[in-house]
Amino acid sequence: MPPRISLQPIGRRSSIYLKSQATERNSVCFFCSLSGRSSAEPSRRPRPRRKSQNPRRFASTTTNNTTSTTSTDHNVLEPRRELEETLLELEKHAPNYINLSRLQLALNGLRQRPGDESIRVAVLGLSNGSESSEVAKQVLRLLLADPLKAEEEWEKEVAKHDLTQPMIIRVGAELPKELESISVASKESSLHEVNVSSATLNGHNLELLLMETNPFLSAQEIGALKGSEESVLVPTVDIPTSDTGRHTPITTPVHKALIVAEGLLGAASVVSMSPLENQSVITAAVNLPEYKLSADTSPLPFTPIDIGVASIGLGLVRKDLKNAIEFEHLWFQSNIPKLVDWLKTDIMASDEGTTKPPVKDLIDSLLRNTSAAIENEEARQFGSSLSPTTPTSLQSSLDDWAESAHTELQEQLDIAFSSKRWRKLGWWKLFWRADDVGMLTNDILSQRFLLASERNAIFLAGRMKESGIALGPFPNPYTTDENGAESKQLETQAPTPATAPWPVSIPTTRRYLQTKTIPALQALSQKLIVQTLGTSGLTTALGALIYLSTLTATLYEAGAVAALGIVWSMRRMQKQWETARTFWEGEVREEGRKAVRDVEGVVGDALKQGRAPKDEAEGQDSLTRAKGLVKRAQEILSKLK
């Protein structure tokens, strides 16, 4: 079973750590964001009010403060609650058009205190070699390292971590020593977790995901609907589910993403990506050693950096504070401060009750993508309604199909039953072809029994589905037999799904003939041979016995007895076998005619019912309701502080 992953340090919920900032208590892990429950809300027990000995003493003051606080909270929280309810309604009515994982992340942000939301940033290293992984770890280390401290323990853990498994980095104040032994999440969790204390980023509810990612597709390969934005902001993490090495992919949505690449190959991968609209949400950095920064690097779609120079400067200032000036020179030369500014942008906590911009950007992007998906679905339905395929034309196609199917049945079976293969089963050839009866008759059915009509029926069913006329599904005749037991797929037939959206009368009839009538025909041939040989042998023995036991009987008389038995048994064999062959021919023709009439009846009934107006109206109402919810959510988002 999947391991339980807790990205929230255990100590933060202890009563010992009540003095920690509220922003850290409100932080939510990556995987908790995927749950539909309101797990992001801080669990706070209401404190019991102390009963004052003189309740009237502070009556006026308490009333005024309560009224003022309630009015302020109402003005701040009412749009958030309304937006949350609207997004929940959108999840209910349009689950096929909205990214559910990003929706859960947005809902968790709205359930937190305004201005104190948890922001998640992904640092993605392109997996085009081991160097890119090292560059990503170095960039993360430089973003969070404190130059006034010696090398910390978390830096060593990041440096030795294998990025084939993602790592969680939580930025917050250090845990008290009393709680260090209690927090064991980083040791037992399937994903490595590290707590980092940063003087400039503590208290802002910042979480980072460090992982590898595949080189991105180009703008032409990605497709217009999905785009590269969602592919970057919703990375997938593989979680081990057992000791056998199997993994379960889990999507981990984030608010912002930093793509890190190495050298010219990495720069080419970044350049081939589709252009990003919002650089504050997704940005890219490429390590280009000894790259001379110009005054204006805006034409580049990425930020050129030099982690080697930045690491040298960090080492110098940690060795001796007198090297601060040289450190500052190397630090700005490496262009790392530009990434630090990008990381700090819009994530700072606010006491004014203003929603952090990354949360708004996430909801805005989610609504835009949902609106685009709904518009594409409306365009598809509108195109289907303008399709030239109408019930009248389909009825004409059905009539043509029925006529061609009857013609094919007659012509193909005439060819089959007059062919050399069928003549091989003459009665006098059964002595050496009795075991070939099943093979030869199966070949006749597989090659001559309504093959073109079956393909045309599937094509006709596809046209009906395109025009919106419901047809099927029908049970697959090659999955279960009449008793419901599983049966093997015939080698001569292509595998089909458990249910088919087209009429299956023709393959069902073919299977009936192959599994019921052909075995009986082959058994009859073997029975007739045994009877014929037995009768002939008995009469021959009788003739020999008469010749040997009677002195007056001549050889001609004994031979006449034997010949009579042989002729009579052969005649009986011929009569019964030719009758069986004729009966089987007639049965194949009749069953084929019934199959054609059955398909014609099923399709004709579906055409009479036509397109289900109720289903069409429900689909249109669902799209209209979803569009209204998206518009309403966008209006509320514009009013959100």
Q: Is the dihedral of CA 143, 145, 151, 154 positive or negative?
A: negative
Q: Are 470 and 606 in contact (CB under 8 A)?
A: yes
Three-class SS state of 387: coil
pLDDT in tens, 226-256: 455 777 888 887 776 666 667 777 888 898 8
Residue 77 — pLDDT band, cuts 50, 70, 90? low
Residue 39 — pLDDT band, cuts 50, 70, 90? very low
pLDDT in tens, 371-383: 888 888 888 777 6
DSSP state at residue 480: B
Q: Are 179 and 16 in contact (CB under 8 A)?
A: yes
Q: List the structure tokens of 247.
A: 């993994």
pLDDT in tens, 46-56: 444 443 344 33
- Mean local confidence (pLDDT), 547-565: 80
- Angular region, 212: left φ>0, alpha ψ -120 to 50, beta rest: beta
Residue 584 — pLDDT band, cuts 50, 70, 90? very high
**276 pLDDT exceeds 70?**
no
Q: Are 569 and 532 in contact (CB under 8 A)?
A: yes
Q: Which of 175, 137, 133 lies closest to 19 in space, CA to CA?
A: 175
Distance of CA 242 to the CA centre of its chain: 21
Residue 509 — pLDDT band, cuts 50, 70, 90? very high
- Mean local confidence (pLDDT), 324-333: 90
pLDDT in tens, 426-464: 877 878 878 888 888 988 898 889 999 999 998 988 888
Residue 531 — pLDDT band, cuts 50, 70, 90? confident
In this prediction, residue 406 carries a pLDDT of 92
Residue 423 — pLDDT band, cuts 50, 70, 90? confident
In this prediction, residue 617 carries a pLDDT of 59
384 vs 387: CA distance, rounded Å: 5
Beta bridge partners of 285: 260, 303
Lowest mean pLDDT among 13-22, 258-267, 274-283, 324-333: 13-22
Angle between helices 307-319 and 130-144 (to 10 degrees): 40
424 vs 244: CA distance, rounded Å: 57
Q: List the structure tokens of 98.
A: 């909205």
Q: Tell me the pLDDT of the chain averaged across its residues.
A: 75
Count Cβ atoms below 10 Å from residue 316 Cβ, excluding itself. Answer: 17
pLDDT in tens, 176-218: 444 333 333 333 446 788 888 888 888 888 899 888 877 654 4
* CA end-to-end distance (rounded Å), the chain: 42
Please return the burial class of 619, using the count of CB atoms within 10 Å of its CB with bins 0-12, 13-18 and 19+: middle
pLDDT in tens, 289-308: 877 766 555 677 888 888 88
In this prediction, residue 492 carries a pLDDT of 39
Q: List the structure tokens of 584.
A: 């089987």
User: For residue 85, how many C-alpha atoms fall within 13 Å in the half-sphere facing its CB?
Assistant: 6
Lowest mean pLDDT among 17-21, 233-237, 465-469: 17-21
Q: pTM for the full model? A: 0.57
Residue 615 — pLDDT band, cuts 50, 70, 90? low
In this prediction, residue 51 carries a pLDDT of 39
More reliable by pLDDT, 610 or 171: 171
More reliable by pLDDT, 92 or 390: 92
In this prediction, residue 264 carries a pLDDT of 83
492 vs 148: CA distance, rounded Å: 76
Q: Which of 620, 618, 614, 611 lies closest to 374 in space, CA to CA?
A: 620
In this prediction, residue 243 carries a pLDDT of 61
Q: Are 542 and 565 in contact (CB under 8 A)?
A: yes
Q: Which of 9, 22, 27 lies closest to 193 in space, CA to CA?
A: 9
In this prediction, residue 411 carries a pLDDT of 92
More reliable by pLDDT, 88 or 610: 88
In this prediction, residue 436 carries a pLDDT of 84
In this prediction, residue 228 carries a pLDDT of 59
Whether the bond between 475 and the residue before it is cis, its omega within 30 degrees of 0, is: no
Q: Which of 254, 213, 224 lies closest to 7 in space, CA to CA?
A: 254
Rg (CA), the chain: 40
Sequence ranges of the domains in the chain = 118-345, 388-522+585-610
Q: Which of 604, 566, 266 lies closest to 431 in space, CA to CA?
A: 566
In this prediction, residue 294 carries a pLDDT of 62
In this prediction, residue 296 carries a pLDDT of 57
For residues 597, 598, 603 and 604, what is the CA-based torsion angle, rounded to 10 degrees? Answer: 50
- Mean local confidence (pLDDT), 11-26: 37
